[in-house]
Chain A
Amino acid sequence: MGISQIIFYLLASFTIFTALFVVFSKNPIYSVLWLILCFFSVAGHFVMLNAQFLAVVHIIVYSGAIMVLFLFTVMLLNLNKETEPHKPLLLKFAAVISGGVLFLIILAAMKTTIPSNYIAPKASEIGYVKQIGMKLYREYTLPFEVASILFLSAMIGSVVLAKKERA
C-alpha cells in the first residue's frame, strides 16, 4: 500500500466522520463547525487530485465565506441545543434507512457501469491555474460573466429579503 493510498484512507475517513457529525450533532453551532472541517478535508481531496487551484478556491469560498455566513446566521438567530427541534424516532430511523438504501442503490448502479479499477495513465496538469484560466476566459467567458450577474441578483435579493419590513 503506497503512501498516497494511506493518505486517501485517512482523509476519506475524516471526511465521512465529520459529515456524519454534521448530521448527528445536537447543537447547530457544532454542526457548522464540523461542516467546516469536512470542507477542509474535501479541499484535501482536491489537492490529491492535482486540482490545487480549485482546492484553494474551495477553502476561500466554502470555509471562508459560506460557512461564516452559516455561523453568523446561527448565532444571529440564537439557535442552540435547547431550541433545536427534533423529529420522532421512527422518522429518524426511516431517514437513516432510506439514506442507506440510496447508497446501496447508487453503488449497484455504478457496479454495472464503470470498470472498477481505473487508474490515470499519467499525472494530470489540468488543475493548474493556467489551464483553468485558459478554459474559463476563452471558452466560458459568457457563462463567467453571467455568473457575476447571478451574484449581483443574489446579493440584491438577500438584502431585500433580510431587510426589516416596515409595518
Chain B
Amino acid sequence: MTETIIQSSNLFLPTILIPLLPLIGFIINGLFGKKLGHASGWIATLVMFASLACSMFLFFNLPSGTTETVTLSNWFYFNDIFIPFAFLIDPLTITMLLVVTGIGSLIHLYSIGYMHHDEGFARFFTYLNLFVFFMLLLVMGNNYLIMFIGWEGVGLCSYLLIGFWFKNQAYNDAAKKAFIMNRIGDLGFLLGMFMMLYHFKSLNYDKVAIGAMSLGVNHITVVGITLFLFIGAMGKSAQLPLYTWLPDAMAGPTPVSALIHAATMVTAGIYMIARSNIIYSLAPHTLDVILIIGTATSLFAAIIGLLQNDIKKVLAYSTVSQLGLMFAALGMGAFESGMFHVVTHAFFKALLFLGAGSVIHALGGEQDMRRMGGLGKYIKITFLTFLIGTIAISGIPPFAGFFSKDEILASAFEHNKVIWGLLSFSSMLTAFYMFRLLYLTFSNSFRGTEEVKHHIHESPTVMTLPLIILAACSTVVGFIGLPPVLSHSHNFKNYLSSVFAQSKTILPAGHQMSHSMEWILIATAVGLAIVSIAFAYFKYVKQKQTPLEDEQLKGISKVISNKFYVDEIYNAVFVKPIMLLSDLFLVIIDKLVIDLLVHGVAFVTAQFGRGLRLLQTGHVGFYMFAMVISMIILLALQIFNIFNFLHI
C-alpha cells in the first residue's frame, strides 16, 4: 500500500513553501520577537508576500482542470488505514490560497501600522503567522486529518488572538467562549472523521467520495457523516445555534477580526463543505438542513445587526449574516456561487473591518457609533474606501458583492421561492444597517468629546495602502463571475468546474432561467437595496437621528438590541445547569469521594510510617539480625515451595 513520494513535479517546491514560509516567520518571531522589535512585523509581512507569490505561481502554472498531489510522507499506517501527509492542489485550493495569502499579506501590512504602539507587537505577528500556517494547512491538505489539524490550529490561534489583550478579563472570557463554541463543532467534525474511517477506511477526499458513491443517495451513513461535518462547520463558521462567539470575538485587535473572523477562518466551514461537495451531493437531506440553517442565520443575524451600536459588532453580525448566505448557497447545491461569495466577501469584509480599525485608530479606541459622526471630513481615505466596501456588501452593481449575491439569489429563486424571499429580505436589511453604519460614522457632525475630536487623524500609509488595494479589489473582483445575462463565460465557474463536475451529475440539474426573469431578479435586488439605502439616508442624514441609549429602548427594539437574549438563554439553559452540576460534583464526588480516597491513602501510609519507623533503632546488630533472619525465611519459603502458587 505504499505510495511513492512524488517530488519530480515542478510544483513541489512552491507548494511546500506556501505553508512553510509563514511557519518560518512564526518560528523567527516566536523565538527572537523581543529582540527584533518592530522588524518582526516586516518579517511576518515579507513571508506572507513570499507565500502569496508562491500561490500566484501555482495559479499560473497548474494546468486548468487538473489536480496535483504533493506527498511529503506516508504519514501512518494502521491496519488497513493509510493516511499520507500530502497536499492537494486543485483550483479550489488555489482559490482559497490566493484569498488567504493575498488578504493575509495586506492585513499583515496594515497591522504594522495598527499595532505600532502595542507592547505585544512581536507576539501579535507570531500568532498571526501561526494562524496563516494553520489556515494554509487546512486548505491544502488532501485528507480530512490534515484539514482537522489546520481546523484545530486556527481555532487555537483565534483563541490566542481574541484574548490578545489578556489583561482584560472580558476579552479572556470572549476568547474562552470562542474556543468552547468551536470545540462543540469540532466534536462533530471528529465524529464525522471517525465515521469515515469506520466505513471507508480512509480520510482522503477522493477515497471518501468513491466510498460514498458506492453507497448511493441519501444513505444513512453519508447523511450522518455530512451532518457531523456540518456541525463542525456550524461552530467554525458561526451558524445558528453556535454563532454567539463571533460577535464576542471582536474583542481581539481589529486586524484579527478582519483576517480571522471575517475573511478566512470563518469561511473554513464553507470551504470544507465545498471540498466535500460530492458526499454532500449524495446527501440531499443534509443539504436541506444546511439551506434552512443558512437562511435562518442570515436573517437572524441581519435583524440583530439593525440595532447594534458598536461599529465592530455591526460588522460581526453582518459577517454572520453573509456566512449564512453562503451556507444557503451550498445548501442549494450552488457550490461555485458559495465559493464566489467567499471570495468577494473576503475582500469587502476585510476592507470594512480594516476601515473600522482605521476609524477606531483615529478616535483613539472609541467603538460606539453614537460617539462618532462627521468623520468623512477628517479621514477622507478611510471614508472613501469604507464607502466602496459598504456599497459592495449592499449589492449595488458593479461592485463585487452584487455579482456573488445576485448569483445566490438567482439560485434560490430557482430552488425555492420562500427561501428567495427570505434571503432577499436579509440582503435588504444588510444594505440598511451597513448604510446606517456608514452614515452614523461619517455623516453629520461629530458627537464625541472635544478632546477626541481634536485628536482625530488619518492613519499612516501602511494602513491606508491596504485599504486602497482592497477597495480596488472589491470594485473589480466581481467581474470574474459575470451573470449569464451579461456574459457567456463565467470565469470563476469555469475555473472551478473540474472540482464540482462530479456533484453536478449527482444533483438534479436546474432548468436554465430565462434572461428576462434574470433581469427582473437583478432589478428587484438592486431596487430593494436602493430603497433601504434611501430609507437609511432619510432616517440618519436628513432627520439626523441617532440611536437611543440602551436605557431608553423598549419593546421589540430592546429585544433585538439585546440580541434576542440568546446569550442569556444559553446561559440559563446550558451554562447554569453545568455550573450547578459541577458544583454538585465538586461537593459530592470531589470533596467527599476522591478527597477521602486520596487523603485516606495518605493518612494510612503516614500512620504505617509512624509505626514502622520505630524499627529504625540505629543498632547495627539489630539490622544484621533482621537481615539474616529474613534470608533464612526467604530460603525456607523457597525450599518448601511456598511460592508455588505464584508460578514463579
Contacts and interface: CB of A to CB of B under 8 A. Distances in A.
A adjacent to B, CB under 8 Å: yes
Contact of A105 (B621, B625, B632): B632
A99 B629 CA distance: 9
Given A87-B621, A91-B621, A106 B629 contact: no
Interface in B627-647: 628-629, 631-632, 635-636, 638-639
Contact of A98 (B625, B635, B639): B625
A108 B621 contact: no
A109 B632 contact: no
Contacts of B631: 102
Q: Classify chain A: how many residues form its interface, as a range.
A: 10 to 19
Interface in A84-106: 87, 91, 94-95, 98-99, 101-102, 105-106
A101 B632 contact: yes
Given A87-B621, A98-B625, A108 B632 contact: no
Nearest to B641: A112
Nearest to B624: A95
A24 to B, nearest CB: 17
Contacts, number: 24
Contacts of A106: 635
Given A87-B621, A91-B621, A105 B636 contact: yes
Contact of B635 (A91, A94, A95, A105): A105
A91 B628 CA distance: 14
Contacts of A105: 632, 635-636, 639
A108 B638 CA distance: 10
Given A109-B638, A109-B639, A98 B621 contact: no
A106 B628 CA distance: 12
A102 B639 contact: no
Nearest to B634: A105
Contacts of B639: 105, 108-109, 112
A94 B621 contact: no
A95 B635 CA distance: 18
Contacts of B638: 109
Contacts of A109: 635, 638-639
Nearest to B633: A105
Nearest to A87: B621
A105 to B, nearest CB: 5
Interface of B: 621, 625, 628-629, 631-632, 635-636, 638-639
Interface of A: 87, 91, 94-95, 98-99, 101-102, 105-106, 108-109, 112
6 contacts: A91-B621, A98-B625, A101-B632, A102-B628, A108-B639, A112-B639
Given A102-B631, A109-B635, 12 more contacts: A91-B621, A94-B625, A95-B625, A98-B628, A99-B628, A105-B632, A105-B635, A105-B636, A105-B639, A108-B639, A109-B639, A112-B639
Closest 9 CB pairs of A and B: A105-B635, A108-B639, A98-B628, A102-B632, A109-B639, A105-B632, A101-B632, A105-B636, A109-B635
